[in-house]
């Protein structure tokens, strides 16, 4: 907590009129594709954005200008002609396991936001990947709280280091999109602390975001924005969060949320659209006049907003930062390079197929609009890249998000990039419109590269794991026609791979951002050695997941829905470990064109954060023929209370052939503890813990035991 900022917030708040105080408690949405009429509360000359809150110039308080920023500063519809660096999806950042890249992309977002006059970024999506159908998994980092918390914190630090406030969102358990405004997410409270809330806790304590955005959903029967247990009890109480809680857009049905811990209503027009009236400040003023809404709470709400403004320093901007779009494009490129995961490779990559007949290598590139560019996820996170989209196509759908459900292609064509890297190859394109037509080209090529795309997005969960538009049949036909078939997936989630045994290689490229085509081509040709690791488990079908049937799926938009997250904290790989199932591809899995070996695992019982904790040391060696990066992963498999798997630490290391590095990992004590809701504390059980080191959550090579004494700690 920054006591100077807090003191200043109190002093300034004391000088405000009630009218000014109330003015800070809402943000108004700018015009965009959905809201075409400019709200009169936004003065002329202010750049349009997702949220506007007026400033108080007489006291040096700037207006708040909020923009989405999960994968770059968003702009479609808001600011005519404006563009920004379009990063790969957060799930790709998760796959890099690289906190430094998270920091750099945050910095980039902060700088670009600032250059546009936007001082609050609606970034920091921290919900865990609980369900491979969740339409917004691409905006979230991983299924693991430690990986999510560490990377999320770095990206928030990057943004706020540029004097731009960042949120973390959507607090909490906003893990499905189906009927999201009417969704009750039910979970055991202790398990919640050990999973989604742990990701938020880690990110918040490391990065001190100015604001936390609540989810649309209910948590255990109460809307997240009106959830006293979550907001007062945990966030502001146990964790001492000093910033402000804003709602999601259209997630404030009642003024009384102010009494439960919400400090600001966002995007008021969406609330009017959703609930048929302006639900927050007008009734709040009435309640205030009637003595039902105390002055102390009004002051606290305002102080929290002012605190974040002063703490991050958005009132002290001097000049406009110079934007180096080339350097920013390099960050997008490097994230794509490090985030693409090579799932399978039977000797076909890097492209090493001899050309039949000795002429130029004949490559068939099939489907996925690969001649034009790479897709992005749909919804509020969409970014228009410099130069604009290569193509956009309306998809649509029911509910208020239908108008934002589009296929946008960023202009980085994998086909063109492949041709640049293989100038002598004869590359031909087939659109993948029909299996029969695609097979014709595949049959007369030396190698066939098929692109499988799926537009996933906000407001919609995927109905199943299949690729849409008949693409599975196309891949199948191509694989039947050509034994050297490579599949490149551009999706926001795991997909089913009924054709897996027939193809020789599979890349998960996610939504790879504005340089995605280049990164894909580099990996296919070996210019870049793949190093991405899966940030979520790829199941072998929905039957293996905690919810083979997703409640509410297929019901009309607006149907009250309850999802029991009865896997609790056993999310992803923990679920598979607990149920003893073999997934299609494990969390942490990712192949390379070189090999890494681990040795000398030592585990010691040391003081970590003043408590009995664990430090592990190990040596990683690149024993293969070329430079590459690896991510050794430390897990616990079993403790005194029985089996229980968890990622304890990881580090990305880049090594030349034959090179070794010693890695030291300090384990956060919460990762070896359970949460006790009765005592309101974390509990480390005394006894022996079995730790393993692996290439993924299953491929373990070394193990060691460590003993810990019983401890109670934290809140
Ligand atoms: C999304 C938020 C976003 C907000 C503002 C909502 O639909 O859920 O993540 O920040 O819109 O655009």
Task: Tell me the backbone φ, ψ of residue 284, rounded to 5 degrees.
Answer: -65, -40
For 556-588, the pLDDT digits (tens) are 989 999 999 999 999 999 999 999 999 999 999
Q: List the residue whose alpha carbon is closest to atom 2 of ligand 1.
A: 248
Task: Tell me the backbone φ, ψ of residue 451, rounded to 5 degrees.
Answer: -100, 130
Indicate which atom in ligand 1 lies nearest the CA of residue 216. Answer: 8
Best CA proximity match to 336, nearest among 507, 167, 210, 474 = 507
Count other C-beta atoms under 10 Å from residue 607's C-beta.
Answer: 10
Q: What contacts 377, CB < 8 A, 6 or more positions away? A: 71, 89, 136, 138, 139, 455, 456, 457, 458, 492, 511
Q: How far apart are CA 341 and CA 507, in angstroms?
A: 6
Indicate which atom in ligand 1 lies nearest the CA of residue 122. Answer: 10
Residue in 170, 245, 249 to alter for ligand 1 test, most ligand atoms within 8 A of Cβ: 249
pLDDT of residue 177: 97
On the question of pLDDT at 275 being above 90, the answer is no
Lateral strand order in the sheet of 406-410: 374-375, 406-410, 391-394
DSSP 8-state code for residue 229: I
pLDDT of residue 359: 87
On the question of pLDDT at 170 being above 90, the answer is yes
96 lines ligand 1 (CB under 6 A): no
Indicate which atom in ligand 1 lies nearest the CA of residue 167. Answer: 10
Angle between helix 99-115 and helix 145-160 axes, rounded to 10 deg: 40
Cα–ligand 1 centroid distance for 83 (angstroms): 19
Q: Where are the beta strands (DSSP E) in 482-625?
A: 485-490, 505-508, 561-564, 596-608, 611-622
The pairing of beta strand 218-219 with beta strand 244-246 = unpaired
Cα–ligand 1 centroid distance for 68 (angstroms): 7
pLDDT of residue 632: 98
On the question of pLDDT at 357 being above 80, the answer is no
Is residue 308 reached through a cis peptide bond, with omega within 30 degrees of 0 on the bond before it? Answer: no
pLDDT level of residue 25 (50, 70, 90 thresholds): very high
Maximum distance among all Cα pairs of the chain, rounded to whole angstroms: 88
169 lines ligand 1 (CB under 6 A): yes
Exposure string of 143-177, with b = 16+ CB inside 10 Å and e = fewer, is bbbbbbbbbbbbbbbbbbbbbbbbbbbbbbbbbbb
Cα–ligand 1 centroid distance for 154 (angstroms): 21
For 315-353, the pLDDT digits (tens) are 999 998 899 999 999 999 999 999 999 999 999 999 976
Measure CA 498 to chain center: 27
Cα–ligand 1 centroid distance for 512 (angstroms): 21
Average model confidence (pLDDT) for the chain?
Answer: 96
Measure CA 158 to chain center: 15
pLDDT of residue 75: 81
Cα–ligand 1 centroid distance for 458 (angstroms): 9
248 lines ligand 1 (CB under 6 A): yes
Q: How far apart are CA 218 and CA 616, in angstroms?
A: 40
93, 148 Cβ separation under 8 angstroms: no
On the question of pLDDT at 158 being above 80, the answer is yes
69 lines ligand 1 (CB under 6 A): no
User: Is 159 in a helix, a strand, or coil?
Assistant: helix
On the question of pLDDT at 399 being above 90, the answer is no
CA 368 → CA 234, 253, 454, 580, distances in Å? 45, 41, 9, 35
Cα–ligand 1 centroid distance for 215 (angstroms): 9
Q: pTM of the entire structure? A: 0.98
pLDDT level of residue 610 (50, 70, 90 thresholds): confident
pLDDT of residue 421: 96
Q: How far apart are CA 298 and CA 281, in angstroms?
A: 11
pLDDT of residue 561: 97
pLDDT of residue 605: 86
pLDDT level of residue 37 (50, 70, 90 thresholds): confident
pLDDT level of residue 278 (50, 70, 90 thresholds): confident
Q: How far apart are CA 95 and CA 590, in angstroms?
A: 9
pLDDT level of residue 279 (50, 70, 90 thresholds): confident
Cα–ligand 1 centroid distance for 459 (angstroms): 10
On the question of pLDDT at 708 being above 80, the answer is yes
Residue 699 bears catalytic tag: no
Cα–ligand 1 centroid distance for 338 (angstroms): 27
Indicate which atom in ligand 1 lies nearest the CA of residue 267. Answer: 5
pLDDT of residue 607: 81
pLDDT level of residue 276 (50, 70, 90 thresholds): confident
Indicate which atom in ligand 1 lies nearest the CA of residue 380. Answer: 12
Q: Which of 131, 248, 263, 630 is catalytic?
A: 248
Indicate which atom in ligand 1 lies nearest the CA of residue 379. Answer: 7
pLDDT level of residue 34 (50, 70, 90 thresholds): confident
Best CA proximity match to 172, nearest among 147, 206, 208, 148 = 148
50 lines ligand 1 (CB under 6 A): yes
380 lines ligand 1 (CB under 6 A): yes
On the question of pLDDT at 281 being above 90, the answer is no
For 50-72, the pLDDT digits (tens) are 999 999 999 999 999 999 998 99
Q: List the residue whose alpha carbon is closest to atom 11 of ligand 1.
A: 249
The fourth-level CATH superfamily of domain 325-532 is Glycoside hydrolase family 3 C-terminal domain (3.40.50.1700)
Among 3.40.30.10, 3.90.45.10, 3.40.50.360, 3.20.20.300, name the CATH number for the domain at 3-315.
Answer: 3.20.20.300
249 lines ligand 1 (CB under 6 A): yes
Q: What contacts 269, CB < 8 A, 6 or more positions away? A: 28, 29, 35, 39
335, 513 Cβ separation under 8 angstroms: yes
68 lines ligand 1 (CB under 6 A): yes
pLDDT level of residue 95 (50, 70, 90 thresholds): very high
For 619-661, the pLDDT digits (tens) are 999 999 999 999 999 999 999 999 999 999 999 999 999 999 9
Tokens matching residue 357: 């007949």
Q: List the residue whose alpha carbon is closest to atom 6 of ligand 1.
A: 249
Give burial (CB, 10 Å; 0-12/13-18/19+) of 656.
Answer: exposed
pLDDT of residue 77: 75
Indicate which atom in ligand 1 lies nearest the CA of residue 125. Answer: 9
Among 2.60.40.10, 1.10.600.10, 1.20.140.160, 3.40.50.300, name the CATH number for the domain at 596-713.
Answer: 2.60.40.10
Best CA proximity match to 199, nearest among 251, 260, 152 = 152
On the question of pLDDT at 115 being above 90, the answer is yes
Tokens matching residue 352: 């090493």
Place of tokens 């906003």: 174
Q: Where are the beta strands (DSSP E) in 154-263?
A: 165-171, 183-186, 211-214, 218-219, 222-223, 244-246
The pairing of beta strand 447-453 with beta strand 64-68 = unpaired
Residue in 122, 139, 214 to alter for ligand 1 test, most ligand atoms within 8 A of Cβ: 122
* Section 174-193 average pLDDT: 97
Cα–ligand 1 centroid distance for 269 (angstroms): 13
Q: List the residue whose alpha carbon is closest to atom 5 of ligand 1.
A: 50
Domain boundaries, the chain: 3-315, 325-532, 596-713
């Amino acid at each position: 907590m920054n006591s100077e900022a807090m003191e200043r917030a109190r002093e300034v708040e004391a000088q405000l009129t009630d009218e000014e105080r109330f003015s800070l408690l809402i943000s108004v949405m700018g015009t965009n594709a959905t809201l075409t009429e400019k709200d009169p509360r936004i003065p002329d000359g202010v750049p349009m954005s997702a949220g506007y809150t007026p400033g108080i110039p007489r006291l040096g308080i700037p207006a708040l200008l909020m923009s989405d920023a999960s994968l770059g500063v968003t702009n479609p519809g808001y600011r005519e002609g404006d563009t920004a660096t379009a990063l790969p999806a957060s799930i790709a950042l998760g796959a890099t396991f690289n906190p430094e890249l998270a920091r750099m992309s945050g910095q980039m977002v902060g700088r670009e936001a600032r250059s546009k006059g936007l001082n609050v970024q609606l970034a920091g999506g921290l919900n865990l990947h609980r369900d491979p159908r969740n339409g917004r998994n691409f905006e979230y980092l991983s299924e693991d709280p430690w990986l999510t918390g560490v990377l999320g914190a770095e990206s928030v630090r990057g943004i706020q280091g540029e004097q731009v406030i960042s949120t973390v969102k959507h607090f909490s358990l906003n893990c499905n999109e189906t009927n999201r405004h009417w969704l009750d997410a039910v979970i055991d409270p202790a398990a919640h602390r050990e999973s989604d809330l742990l990701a938020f806790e880690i990110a918040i304590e490391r990065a001190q975001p100015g604001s936390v955005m609540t989810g649309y959903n209910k948590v255990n029967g109460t809307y997240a924005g009106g959830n006293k247990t979550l907001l007062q009890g945990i966030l502001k109480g146990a964790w001492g969060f000093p910033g402000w809680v804003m709602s999601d857009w259209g997630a404030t049905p009642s003024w009384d949320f102010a009494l439960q811990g919400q400090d600001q209503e966002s995007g008021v027009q969406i609330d009017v659209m959703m609930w048929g009236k302006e639900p927050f400040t007008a009734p709040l003023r009435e309640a205030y006049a009637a003595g039902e809404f105390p002055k102390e709470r009004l002051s606290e709400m305002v102080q929290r907003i002012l605190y974040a403004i002063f703490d991050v320093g958005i009132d002290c901007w001097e000049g406009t930062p110079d934007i180096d779009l080339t350097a920013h494009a390099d960050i997008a490129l490097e994230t794509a390079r490090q985030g693409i995961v090579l799932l399978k490779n039977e000797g076909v990559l890097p492209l090493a197929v001899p050309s039949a007949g000795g002429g130029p290598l004949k490559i068939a590139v099939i489907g996925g609009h690969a001649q034009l560019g790479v897709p992005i996820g749909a919804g509020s996170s969409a970014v228009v890249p410099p130069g604009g989209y290569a193509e956009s196509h309306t998809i649509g759908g029911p509910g208020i998000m239908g108008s934002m459900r589009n296929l946008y292609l960023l202009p980085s064509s994998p086909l063109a990039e492949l041709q640049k890297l293989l100038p002598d190859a004869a590359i031909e394109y087939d659109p993948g419109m029909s299996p029969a037509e695609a097979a014709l080209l595949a049959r007369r090529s030396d190698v066939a590269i098929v692109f499988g795309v799926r537009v996933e997005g906000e407001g919609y969960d995927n109905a199943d794991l299949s690729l849409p538009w008949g693409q599975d049949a196309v891949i199948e036909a191509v694989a039947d026609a050509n034994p050297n078939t490579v599949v490149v997936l551009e999706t926001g989630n795991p997909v089913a791979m009924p054709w897996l045994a027939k193809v020789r290689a599979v890349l998960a490229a996610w939504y790879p951002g504005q340089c995605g085509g280049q990164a894909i081509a580099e990996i296919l040709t070996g210019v870049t050695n793949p190093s991405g690791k899966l940030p979520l488990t790829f199941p072998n079908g929905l039957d293996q997941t905690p919810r083979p049937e997703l409640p509410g799926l297929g019901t009309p938009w607006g149907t009250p829905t309850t999802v029991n997250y009865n896997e609790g904290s056993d999310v992803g790989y923990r679920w598979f470990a607990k149920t003893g199932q073999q997934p299609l591809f494990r969390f942490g899995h990712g192949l390379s064109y070189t090999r890494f070996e681990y040795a000398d695992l030592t585990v010691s019982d040391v003081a970590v954060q003043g408590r009995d904790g664990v430090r592990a040391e190990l040596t990683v060696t690149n024993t293969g023929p070329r430079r590459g990066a690896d991510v050794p992963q430390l897990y616990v498999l079993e403790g005194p209370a029985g089996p229980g798997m968890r990622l304890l630490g990881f580090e990305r290391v880049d090594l030349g052939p034959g090179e070794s590095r010693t890695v030291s990992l300090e384990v956060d004590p919460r990762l070896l503890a359970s949460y006790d809701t009765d005592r309101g504390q974390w509990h480390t059980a005394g006894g022996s813990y079995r730790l393993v080191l692996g290439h993924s959550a299953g491929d373990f090579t070394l193990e060691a035991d460590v003993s810990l004494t019983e401890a109670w700690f934290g809140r």
